[in-house]
Structure 1
Amino acid sequence: MPFEKITSEKLSSAVTRQIELLILRGILRPGERLPSERDLAERMGVSRPSLREAIAELREKGLLASRAGAGIFVADVLGSAFSEALVRLFSDHDEAVFDYVSFRRDLEGLAAERAATLASDTDLRVIGSIFAKMEAAHTKPNSETEARLDAEFHLSIIEASHNVVMLHMMRSMFQMLREGVFYNRQQMFRQRTTRTTILDQHRAINTALQARDAPAARAAVDAHLTFVEDTLRDLRTSERNEAIARQRLDHESAR
């Protein structure tokens, strides 16, 4: 008969499973520091020996890492999504930039559709709160904060889609974007008119999501990322034309 005796689960196993789920669901993020051992044991209602056993198991699994004198941190689990050689290859070829935007358009359009139907009211409040911060940052001359919030806004939609595989894949993609692998995000926010257009596009995405209008949310994401693609093509053309013009100027000056 396919039955086995019921046994109580070890406390350390319950702790392990809870922390694993927090990492899987993207609530605990790579590089995030866990509370102190005493604080964490109190929060979870377990003994410190049980907690230590769970942390040791999670370290063995590569999900947690110790830093001398600093504590326990969530390991950089995103780092394995792409090899260093592939990341360098991406950064060396413009073709990867436009494939990246196309990939985002497909995946984020799907995420927006899912979020419009599957997101909780709290998920939508998070998205709306980030957009409100974008509006506030838009009034300031320095675009750095607005560019950072842009990424947070898109990731909050992916989180609200409640697909953990999509979440971790897209977080890895956005980490490479932050590091300038695909393009310098500051370029997108250099001109005030471009910043305003991008803000309006994010407003349209947020409005559709808050209304739980899945087709409109997907269409708004598609329109936004098509604009990003067109703007990047224009930037590439402008940079190429400027380089040619400088060659002509240098040649003329030398005559």
Structure 2
Amino acid sequence: MPFQKVQTEKLSTSVVRQVELLILRGILRPGERLPAERELSERLGVSRPSLREAISELQDLGLLTARAGSGIFVADVLGNAFSDSLVRLFSAHDEAVFDYISFRRDMEGLAAERAARLASDTDLMVIQTVFDKMEAAHPKRNPADEAQLDADFHLAIIEASHNVIMLHMMRSMYQLLREGVFYNRSIMFRQRTTRSELLEQHRAINTALQARDAEAAREAVVRHLDYVEGALADFKKAERNEAIARQRYEHEQRR
């Protein structure tokens, strides 16, 4: 008969499973510090020895890491998404930049469509909250803050699509974006008109999502990333033109 005796799961195993799911679902994020041992054991309702056993197992699995004098942190599980050699290759070629935008356009369009259909009311509240922060940050003209909120907005949509594979894949991609591997986000915010247009594009995405209009949400994402692609192409062209102009200028001075 295909039956086996039911065994009671160890408390430490239950803790491991819970933390694994929190990381898998993107609730606990890379680099996030866990609460102190006493507080965490109370929250989980387990003894501190059981908690220590679970944390040790999660460290062996590469999901948690200890920092001397600082505590226990979620490991940088995204850091292994691309080899160092591939990251250097991305950085060295403009082709990777435009392929990256194309990839985002496809994935984030799909994520927006899924979010419009599958997001809970709370998911949509998170997206609305991030957009409200974008609006509040706009008059302050801080490129770093605006870039961070821009990334947070798009990641909130991906989270709301409820596909954990897409979530972790796109988080790894955004990590490279933050590190300037694909392009320097601050160049998108240098002109007042560009900043205003980007905000309105995000407003259109948010409006479609809040209305649960899947088609409009996807189209708004595609229009936004088409604009980003065009702006970056213009920037790259301007850089090349300036390099040529400097050569002409230096040559003219030597004549």
TM-score interval, smaller chain: over 0.9
Alignment partners' CA distance in 2, 1:7 and 1:46 = 19
Q: Percent identity?
A: 75
Deviation at 1:73, TM superposition (A): 0.6
Determine the structure 2 residue equivalent to 1:26.
26
Determine the structure 2 residue equivalent to 1:192.
192
Which range moved further: 143-152 or 129-138?
Answer: 143-152
Determine the structure 2 residue equivalent to 1:13.
13
Equivalent positions of 1:91-170 (< 5 A) are 91-170=91-170
Alignment partners' CA distance in 2, 1:163 and 1:206 = 19
Contact 1:137–1:143 (8 Å) recurs in 2: no
Determine the structure 1 residue equivalent to 2:220.
220
Alignment partners' CA distance in 1, 2:200 and 2:141 = 17
Does residue 248 of structure 1 match 2:248? yes
Determine the structure 2 residue equivalent to 1:83.
83
Does residue 174 of structure 1 match 2:174? yes
Deviation at 1:140, TM superposition (A): 1.3
Determine the structure 2 residue equivalent to 1:50.
50
Deviation at 1:132, TM superposition (A): 0.7
TM-score normalised over the length of structure 1: 0.99
Aligned residues: 255
2:72 aligns to what SS in structure 1? strand
Deviation at 1:146, TM superposition (A): 1.2
Alignment partners' CA distance in 1, 2:141 and 2:99 = 31
Could you list the per-position Cα deviations for residues 177-234 of structure 1 after superposition, in whole angstroms to 9, with x for gaps in the alignment? Answer: 0000000000001111000000000000000000000000000000000000000000
RMSD, matched Cα: 0.6
Does residue 211 of structure 1 match 2:230? no
5+ long unaligned stretches in structure 1? none
1:72 aligns to what SS in structure 2? strand
Determine the structure 2 residue equivalent to 1:232.
232
